[in-house]
A and B are shown apart, each in its own frame.
Chain A
Amino acid sequence: MTDATASGVPAGKHTSGSLLEQSPRTKRRNASEARFRFYGMAAVGIGLVFLVLLLIAIVRNGVPAYTQTFLSLPIELKAEALDKNGNRDLEDIRKVSTFGYNPLLDEALLRVVADNGIESDYSGADLRKMISSSAAAQVRDYVLTHPAQIGETVEFRVLASSRVDGYLKGRVLREDLERDKNLDAAHLDIIDVLKDAGAVTRTFNWAFIFGADASESRPEQAGIGVSMLGSLFMMIVVLVLSLPIGVAASIYLEEFAPKNRWTDLIEVNISNLAAVPSIVFGILGLAVFIQFMHLPQSAPLVGGLVLTLMTLPTIIISTRASLKSVPPSIRDAALGVGASKMQSVFHHVLPLAMPGILTGTIIGLAQALGETAPLLLIGMVGYIASNYPDGVASGFLDPNSAMPAQIYEWAKRADPAYYERAWGGIIILLLFLMTMNIIAVILRRRFERRW
């Protein structure tokens, strides 16, 4: 304001006073106005561009994980290799390890290559590089469940190796294979022919969504299903603990707490806990739940407990806000007809605040679902989640992974084929988060009352 008087036009000395033509100073001011406005728009634009770039990166890199290349292979289940005694005794059949199945695979591969008229001097073991090392186990499992089929020729769809899969998806290029001892360019020629013949196909990859994690050398087999269950069990723990505790704490602080030091201490604590870095909660979980209380490492129960402590402040803050938005007249009316304070809260205020509380809880759960750092410290990474838990108790207590921990684990592995899985996992994680947030928005829109 002092600027305006200092640079203002002195009295009596009129410069161009036209309303139709802008003075240079007005022009300058208007230009700076336009510039400022443009900066603002640019900032919003940059923010949105980052969002779009992020989403493009996720979708472009992640979508290939949802298709997988398979090779159709008629395999002759030779009786002399699988059941030497010929009595179809399951015990005898079980004695043949997966190594015993490799010759059958080799033979089938050689036959397929010859049938399609491909000239190749590869041996069967060389050709086997094109398919996943899980193929032998797949055939063995089939034989163990269908022993009657021994001696027949059965058509199998075996997983192609991750290199072949990557080649068909455009991730692995011929040039890349020069230094790769797992596959040669000549293999790719065979694949091209087989693809034209229809023996190599790419289909939707249900195994990625529902399957288990695989060891480092078999990215084509890895799935996120088991760690999804781990996340589910963790979220159950978080919901069961944090909703009642959070609501109870908020009711006390909002409705009953006297104004004293203890209450102040609690309030300060809650607002500070909301801003403590998540990794510190991981340290707490490690020290208290695992070192001190000897709870099992990597268990969803421990993960759930840590995430509960982390989400409690969020839930308490949002619950208090929705309790506060219930008008005092409701409480007064209840007290007026003889309800106790407790009855007025539990019978009238709480039901009215419920939509807001649930919205806050869902948002807190979504936050917990995506949190990774504390899970690293309680051992949910480095563990290969290859088995489904066999029951509810084992779901809570047996070592498992969680979705974000599984994604981190894949991102750390050396094989680039795992990166595709990691992005694919992110798509699933984000879909879950989106669903939860949409539910929260709908809850708020439909049920929240404005007073």
Chain B
Amino acid sequence: MPATWIFLIVLALAAIGYVLGRSRALASAGGDSRHLHSLPSYYGANAALLALVPSLLVLVIWLFAQPLVIQNRVEHLVPETSYETEGELSLLMSDVRRIADGLDLAVERGALTEDEASDIRVEFTDIRERLGAVGVALGSDVQAPMLAAAKAWREMNASGNLIRTVVVLLVALAGFGLGLTRARKDFRARNSVEKVIKGLLIVAASLAILTTLGIVLSLLFNTIEFFRLYPALDFFFGTTWAPSFGGGSELGILPLLWGTLYISIIALAVAVPIGLFAAVYLSEYASPAVRSFAKPLIEVLAGIPTIVYGLFALLTVGPLLFQAFGPGTLGWMGGGRAVMTAGLVMGIMLIPFVSSLSDDIINAVPQAMRDGSLGLGATKSETVKQVVLPAALPGIVGAILLAASRAIGETMIVVLGAGAAARLSMNPFEAMTTVTAKIVSQLTGDADFASPEALVAFALGMTLFVITLGLNVFALWIVRKYREQYE
């Protein structure tokens, strides 16, 4: 029975449990709800939750565990002579899976009967052709051991599914029964229901930890796999980035880090002065009318998706800069895609980020400090320069660090605007590339997932994650420390 059906049955059971539990509890109180400990609906909800939660938990765990267990068992059936590395084995296993799924599909579509599918043999049938007819494309002809493995897979899957159905439904029924027997007037249904709901709330909140764990683990395992194929020292200290999908690639991260850093520096050089001055003007000088008009408009820049900025860099800013600095005039630029293009556009994107964060921080400086300075005869600008900004400095540094981490992790602008060549150069009008752009290009190419050329993307992702995480933690720490100072 497919998982959706099980799910629907359990859901129906829970609905019945709700109605029955409610009416049983009422009946036990003689129809007068005042004699119940909790409201009648709690008795119903209790029965429904008992039927629903444990059985769905079992179902979800089963759905995850079954393929892993079967994979583990079937792996032994693939002869050890047919593969050398883990990567090849995983490719073979995915073939086995596809054959097994294909046989299932063929049975479902009526192209094969169940008996034919379980007795099928490579010697007599062209399996590739038969499966192709139902729309399952196989990369190569099917070998006998692979077919045996696929058949074993099917059998285990079928029996696993049967056991799954039985177990899940039994658990649901048990919960259903327990919920109903408990639906008596002295039972503290509200407390019991609330305990379950609180558990669910905790699970939802813990999802954040699960996400972080998922990120770290998926990066970590693949990075370790990469370092097994490619020396870590060469990766971190290599100065050439030259992946070639035939093998013998040089994968040094330094040129990528340099490109990332250079673009970020230009972006910050644009965003920080403009953002900071805008924040100072809007919070210290502007009339309320100007502020309520200009502030939201500048923040519109933050709501525009990065793909728009990417296109703006590629099709508007790039050609403009090329006209100004290209071969026609100064000859500094070889094409529209350059560090400058990406940096400028990214700077525009970061303006609202810097300005609204700094605005908050400047507003948090107590008014008494300004009044004191103005009272001593300082002008407004002197007050800002000598009192407000020094007081707000740690917070502003935090804001700039947050903006820097944004710039380092930005993808679409650099993919479209910065170019694809990895270079260690000082010329800001040359095309360079960044860590994020290379993650995209290494993972969207045709490379086999087990090759160092694809796995390097995970090592790059890990580097990016560590750098941005470090920056964020540091920046948040500074901002928090600063806030406490004036609260």
Tell me the A residues contacting B by CB distance below 8 Å: 1, 3-4, 29-30, 32-33, 35-37, 39-44, 46-48, 50-51, 54, 57-58, 61, 244-246, 248-249, 251-253, 256-257, 265-266, 269-273, 275-281, 283-284, 286-288, 291-294, 309, 312-313, 316, 340-342, 366, 369-373, 376-377, 379, 381-382, 404, 407-408, 411, 419, 422-423, 426, 429-430, 433, 437
The reply to whether B281 and A41 form a contact with Cβ atoms under 8 Å apart is: yes
CA–CA, A123 and B258, complex, Å: 57
Question: Which residues of chain A are near B190, meaning CB under 8 Å?
Answer: 340
CA–CA, A90 and B411, complex, Å: 52
> Would you mind naming 30 contact pairs between A and B with Cβ atoms under 8 Å apart?
A33-B382, A37-B380, A40-B285, A43-B273, A43-B277, A47-B275, A47-B294, A48-B297, A50-B348, A51-B301, A58-B312, A252-B202, A266-B206, A269-B208, A271-B476, A275-B402, A275-B405, A276-B468, A279-B439, A279-B440, A280-B219, A280-B409, A280-B464, A283-B215, A283-B439, A287-B214, A294-B67, A372-B411, A373-B306, A430-B308
The reply to whether A404 and B305 form a contact with Cβ atoms under 8 Å apart is: yes
Residue among A366, A376, A411 making CB contact with B444, cutoff 8 Å: A376
The reply to whether A33 and B205 form a contact with Cβ atoms under 8 Å apart is: no
Question: Which residues of chain A are near B355, meaning CB under 8 Å?
Answer: 47
The reply to whether B436 and A277 form a contact with Cβ atoms under 8 Å apart is: yes
Residue among A4, A276, A366 making CB contact with B215, cutoff 8 Å: A276
Give the shortest distance, in Å, between B385 (CB) and chain A (any CB). Answer: 8
The reply to whether B281 and A284 form a contact with Cβ atoms under 8 Å apart is: no
The reply to whether B211 and A273 form a contact with Cβ atoms under 8 Å apart is: yes
CA–CA, A276 and B64, complex, Å: 27
Give the shortest distance, in Å, between B169 (CB) and chain A (any CB). Answer: 24
Residue among B211, B218, B278, B348 making CB contact with A43, cutoff 8 Å: B278
**Quick one: given A277-B409, A372-B412, A433-B303, are A270 and B281 in contact (CB under 8 Å)?**
no
Residue among B282, B311, B465 making CB contact with A280, cutoff 8 Å: B465
Contact with A along B46-73 (1 / 0, CB 8 A): 0000000000000000001001000000
The reply to whether A269 and B212 form a contact with Cβ atoms under 8 Å apart is: yes
Closest to B207 in A: A245
Interface segment among B193-201, B233-241, B421-429: the answer is B193-201
The reply to whether A29 and B382 form a contact with Cβ atoms under 8 Å apart is: yes
Question: Which residues of chain A are near B373, meaning CB under 8 Å?
Answer: 1
The reply to whether A272 and B469 form a contact with Cβ atoms under 8 Å apart is: yes
Contact with A along B299-342 (1 / 0, CB 8 A): 01101111110111011100000000000000000000000000
Question: Which residues of chain A are near B284, meaning CB under 8 Å?
Answer: 40
| Contact of B379 with A by CB under 8 A | yes
| Contact of B461 with A by CB under 8 A | yes
The reply to whether B209 and A266 form a contact with Cβ atoms under 8 Å apart is: yes
The A-B contact count (CB < 8 A) is 259
CA–CA, A408 and B378, complex, Å: 53
The reply to whether B352 and A47 form a contact with Cβ atoms under 8 Å apart is: yes
The reply to whether A266 and B208 form a contact with Cβ atoms under 8 Å apart is: yes
| Contact of B247 with A by CB under 8 A | no
Residue among A40, A248, A280, A379 making CB contact with B461, cutoff 8 Å: A280
Residue among A61, A272, A278 making CB contact with B409, cutoff 8 Å: A278
CA–CA, A419 and B194, complex, Å: 56
| Contact of B449 with A by CB under 8 A | yes
* Most B CB within 10 A of own CB, among A40, A269, A294: A40
3 closest A-B pairs by CB: A277-B409, A40-B281, A370-B305
Closest to A62 in B: B311
Residue among A30, A46, A252, A429 making CB contact with B379, cutoff 8 Å: A30
The reply to whether B285 and A411 form a contact with Cβ atoms under 8 Å apart is: no
The reply to whether B473 and A248 form a contact with Cβ atoms under 8 Å apart is: no
Give the shortest distance, in Å, between A52 (CB) and chain B (any CB). Answer: 9
| A interface majority secondary structure | helix
Question: Which residues of chain B are near A312, meaning CB under 8 Å?
Answer: 207-208, 211
Tell me the B residues contacting A by CB distance below 8 Å: 64, 67, 97, 190-191, 194, 197-198, 200-202, 204-209, 211-212, 214-215, 218-219, 222, 273-278, 280-282, 284-286, 294, 297-298, 300-301, 303-308, 310-312, 314-316, 348, 351-352, 355, 373, 376-382, 384-386, 402, 405-406, 408-412, 415-416, 436, 439-440, 443-444, 449, 457-458, 461, 464-465, 468-469, 472-473, 476
The reply to whether B204 and A249 form a contact with Cβ atoms under 8 Å apart is: yes
Question: Which residues of chain B are near A291, meaning CB under 8 Å?
Answer: 449
Residue among A33, A245, A276 making CB contact with B381, cutoff 8 Å: A33
CA–CA, A36 and B281, complex, Å: 9
CA–CA, A100 and B456, complex, Å: 50
* Most B CB within 10 A of own CB, among A279, A313, A369: A279
**Quick one: given A342-B198, A366-B303, are A272 and B212 in contact (CB under 8 Å)?**
yes
Question: Which residues of chain B are near A283, meaning CB under 8 Å?
Answer: 215, 218-219, 439, 443, 457-458, 461
The reply to whether B204 and A44 form a contact with Cβ atoms under 8 Å apart is: no
The reply to whether A430 and B310 form a contact with Cβ atoms under 8 Å apart is: no
* Most A CB within 10 A of own CB, among B276, B303, B386: B303
Give the shortest distance, in Å, between B138 (CB) and chain A (any CB). Answer: 16
Question: Which residues of chain A are near B352, meaning CB under 8 Å?
Answer: 47
8 further interface pairs, Cβ-Cβ under 8 Å (given A36-B381, A57-B315): A33-B381, A37-B381, A265-B209, A275-B402, A283-B457, A284-B218, A312-B211, A372-B305
The reply to whether A407 and B201 form a contact with Cβ atoms under 8 Å apart is: no
Give the shortest distance, in Å, between A254 (CB) and chain B (any CB). Answer: 10
Question: Which residues of chain B are near A265, meaning CB under 8 Å?
Answer: 209
The reply to whether B209 and A47 form a contact with Cβ atoms under 8 Å apart is: no
Give the shortest distance, in Å, between B473 (CB) and chain A (any CB). Answer: 7
Give the shortest distance, in Å, between A53 (CB) and chain B (any CB). Answer: 8
Question: Which residues of chain B are near A293, meaning CB under 8 Å?
Answer: 64
The reply to whether A376 and B476 form a contact with Cβ atoms under 8 Å apart is: no
Give the shortest distance, in Å, between A33 (CB) and chain B (any CB). Answer: 4
Closest to A287 in B: B218
Residue among B191, B307, B386, B449 making CB contact with A407, cutoff 8 Å: B307
Residue among A43, A252, A269, A281 making CB contact with B201, cutoff 8 Å: A252
Give the shortest distance, in Å, between B293 (CB) and chain A (any CB). Answer: 10
Question: Which residues of chain B are near A29, meaning CB under 8 Å?
Answer: 379, 382
**Quick one: given A47-B274, A47-B355, A370-B305, are A419 and B315 in contact (CB under 8 Å)?**
yes
The reply to whether A252 and B204 form a contact with Cβ atoms under 8 Å apart is: yes
Question: Which residues of chain B are near A294, meaning CB under 8 Å?
Answer: 67, 97
Question: Which residues of chain B are near A257, meaning CB under 8 Å?
Answer: 205
The reply to whether A278 and B382 form a contact with Cβ atoms under 8 Å apart is: no
The reply to whether A256 and B277 form a contact with Cβ atoms under 8 Å apart is: no
Question: Which residues of chain B are near A370, meaning CB under 8 Å?
Answer: 304-308
Residue among B200, B282, B301 making CB contact with A44, cutoff 8 Å: B282
